[in-house]
Amino acid sequence: MPAGSGRVTVRVADRSLRLSNLDKVLYPEEGFTKAEVIDYYSRVAPVLLPHLDGRPLTVKRYPDGVDGPFFFEKNAPRHLPGWIRTATLPAPGSTKDRDTIDFAVIEHLPDLVYYANLAALELHVPMWRVSPQGQALAPDTLVFDLDPGPPATVVECCRVALLLREVLAEDGLTACPKTSGSKGMQLYAPWRRAGDSREYAREIARRLEAGHPGEIVSVMAKKAREGKVFIDWSQNNPAKTTVAPYSLRARSRPTVSTPLTWEEVEECDNPHELAFTASEVLTRVDDHGDLFGPVAH
């Protein structure tokens, strides 16, 4: 991105995009600008796009940076270019009394750059895809969201992730870990079964809670979570989304929801070890490729 440019027209693959406010600082603590956000998403696209492909997109937009107001956006913007795919899906329980929502489905680099230019810092997707005809398909991914109740940290989440890995392996499921980019982490596994993934995840969470009551909780009540790791199995609800692998997070620094090696999980004894910024993630991708590859296919 051109340094200091307020507005510029660029060619991205076979599309022309007009980018604006490139010099606006979106992460004040590090002086990280919108140009740098667009640059990060452009460079990480080869490993990010497979995890967005076919999935209806929800974004958190921060037009004035992470210290300013933000909003969730599910419905595709009215000015969305016609070349970005959309899928019209039912919206039961919509807070805006809508029967349907027109979701964007991000599949190509220009789509990603378009949203980065909107200061869509966080990208969230469900555990299911839509068909080429735009119909919702059955879930193809299982997720466990591990949320530490203070004073627990991601270190305790790692211990729980190892327990989950063992249980899932016994059931023939291969788990992949990633940080949330905030204070916790998530465990994903490809789901190719006919059963209800949400019910399966709940049963696993309750089983681990029963076996490790001093460390794990499976209920959402905050008073029950102090010093424990909450296994949020409910993220498998088709109406919910989870931050995508390689998405930026709107924290004080441009941290990223970062795929991990199991060795990193096994050896973690300090929460700072698993906090990665955009530049660090790009280096990790150069070194490791897509550690979340098994989940995308």
- pLDDT number for residue 223: 78
Which two structure tokens, joined as six digits, stand for 167?
């249980």
- At 184 the pLDDT is 96
User: b or e along 198-220 (b: 16 or more beta carbons within 10 Å of the residue's beta carbon)?
Assistant: bebbbebbeebbeeeeebbbbee
Instruction: Determine contact, residues 181/257, Cβ cutoff 8 Å.
Output: yes
pLDDT of residue 96: 63
Tokens read off for 43: 């460079």
pLDDT in the model for residue 97 = 64
Cα(269)–Cα(267) distance, rounded to whole angstroms?
A: 6
The amino acid present at 270, given as its one-letter code, is N
pLDDT reported for residue 107: 96
Tell me the C-alpha to C-alpha distance, in Å, between residue 86 and each of 80, 94, 98, 100, 160: 9, 18, 16, 12, 38
What is the C-alpha to C-alpha distance for residues 35 and 22, in angstroms, rounded to an integer?
5
CB atoms within 10 A of CB 86: 18
Distant-in-sequence, close-in-space partners of 135: CB < 8 Å, separation ≥ 6: none
Measure the CA–CA gap between 58 and 257, rounded to whole angstroms: 16
Return d(Cα 103, Cα 100) in angstroms, integer. Answer: 9
Residue that is written with structure tokens 């190892």 in the block = 162
- What tokens were used for 190? 């490809």
Residue 60's DSSP bridge partners are 72, 122
Question: Distances from the Cα of 100 to the Cαs of 58, 82, 103, 228, in angstroms?
Answer: 14, 19, 9, 38
In this prediction, residue 221 carries a pLDDT of 78
| Tens-binned pLDDT, residue by residue, of the chain (297 aa) | 555 556 899 999 999 999 999 999 999 999 999 999 999 999 999 999 999 999 999 999 999 999 999 999 999 999 999 999 999 999 765 556 678 999 999 999 999 999 999 999 999 999 999 999 999 999 999 999 999 999 999 999 999 999 999 999 999 999 999 999 999 999 999 999 988 999 999 999 999 999 999 999 998 877 788 999 999 999 999 999 999 999 999 999 999 999 999 999 999 999 999 999 999 999 999 999 999 999 987
* 22 neighbors 10 (Cβ within 8 angstroms): no
- The pTM score is 0.94
Neighbouring C-beta atoms of residue 67, cutoff 10 Å:
14
How does DSSP assign 91-152, residue by residue? -TT-TT--SEEEEEE--SHHHHHHHHHTTEEEEEE-S--B-TTSPBPPP-EEEEEEEEPTT-
